[in-house]
């Protein structure tokens, strides 16, 4: 099977050369023997974000030689950042259809992205219950529709649906289902994410969650490995990267949208986080 070289400026995410710079990209790849998309995807250094993949028809092969394994209908794959990508239609199958989503995760999703069955860094799960399969497939398709809608709420809706999808997937894994975030910490993360432009004090967040500030601070650090303030700053920087690549808003406007009145302070934080100034990051795409 031939490997096609990626070319620049491709606008179709199914074809080599497409630049996955967005927060989320979703689609379906319907590979039939000999059709336009019947080629192997090879990315030795992986991608910056995650890809979750659900086989819906036929068979696909991941990797080669002794490392190779096959995915069939109902099999889920999770490629983490920087993990090698090498997958293609199995030679023994006339087709391989798979739904896929490329995404940059929210920080509090970390536990949901640690599947216990891993082959060469690629997470693997199998859906055995037909009802669960239909529910998960429906979420993949809803996310794809939202992505293609391109309206003002598409990103927010897509990320909410993706969160549901990841929870459903991790519930299939009995090992990781025991490591879910405490609902109060999950609510804290949602509250902060929905109000990134507001510098809430910890006492205000604790009041919203109905916990004492000291208990919330301790439990948040225990479950996420980060302080509340540091976690909020990270979310702001992730959102800033997205806005710099997807909007033409001035940097000062992006800073204010994320709760920073001082553009220079925002720029220093952003450079410390990403290694580039906001303007350099915007021009690097």
Q: For tokens 């879910």, name the residue.
A: 180
Is residue 168 within 8 A of residue 136, CB to CB? The reply is yes
HEC letters along 25-70:
EEEEEEEECCCCCCCEEEECCCCCCEEEEEEEEECEEECCHHHCEE
Q: Is 198 left (phi over 0), alpha (psi -120 to 50) or beta?
A: beta
Is residue 14 within 8 A of residue 29, CB to CB? The reply is yes
Q: Which domains does the chain have, with CATH numbers?
A: 24-179 (2.60.120.280), 207-283 (1.10.10.60)
What does the pLDDT read at residue 282? 86
What does the pLDDT read at residue 112? 87
What does the pLDDT read at residue 194? 87
Nearest partner of 267 among 253, 277, 281, judged by Cα: 277
Report d(CA 20, CA 57) in Å as an integer: 25
Q: Considering the entire predicted model, what is its pTM?
A: 0.69
Is residue 255 within 8 A of residue 274, CB to CB? The reply is no
What does the pLDDT read at residue 6? 42
pLDDT per 10-residue tile (average), the chain, 285 residues = 45 55 83 95 91 97 95 96 95 96 87 89 94 96 90 85 93 68 87 91 95 94 87 88 84 93 94 88 76
């Amino acid at each position: 099977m031939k490997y096609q070289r990626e070319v620049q400026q491709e606008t179709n995410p199914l074809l080599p050369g497409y630049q996955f710079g967005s927060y989320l990209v979703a689609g379906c790849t319907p590979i039939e023997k000999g059709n336009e998309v019947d080629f192997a995807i090879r990315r030795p250094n992986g991608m910056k974000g995650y890809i979750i993949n659900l086989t819906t028809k036929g068979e696909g092969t991941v990797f080669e030689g002794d490392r190779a394994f096959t995915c069939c209908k109902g099999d889920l794959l999770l490629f983490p950042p920087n993990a090698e990508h090498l997958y293609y239609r199995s030679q023994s199958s006339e087709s391989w259809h798979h739904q896929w989503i490329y995404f940059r995760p929210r920080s509090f999703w970390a536990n949901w992205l640690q599947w216990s069955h891993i082959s060469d860094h690629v997470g693997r799960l199998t859906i055995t219950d037909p009802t669960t399969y239909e529910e998960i497939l429906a979420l993949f398709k809803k996310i794809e529709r939202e992505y293609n809608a391109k309206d003002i709420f598409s990103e927010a809706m897509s990320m909410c649906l993706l969160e549901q999808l990841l929870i459903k997937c991790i519930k299939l894994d009995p090992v990781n289902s025991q490591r879910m975030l405490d609902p109060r910490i999950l609510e804290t993360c949602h509250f902060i994410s929905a109000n990134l432009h507001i510098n809430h004090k910890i006492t205000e967040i604790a009041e919203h969650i109905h916990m004492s500030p000291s208990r919330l601070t301790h439990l948040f650090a225990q479950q996420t490995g980060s302080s509340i303030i540091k976690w909020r700053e990270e979310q702001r920087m992730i959102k800033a990267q997205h806005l710099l690549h997807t909007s033409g808003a001035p940097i000062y406007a992006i800073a204010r949208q994320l709760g920073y009145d001082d553009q220079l302070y925002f720029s220093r934080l952003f450079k410390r986080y990403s290694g580039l100034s906001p303007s350099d990051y915007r021009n690097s795409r």
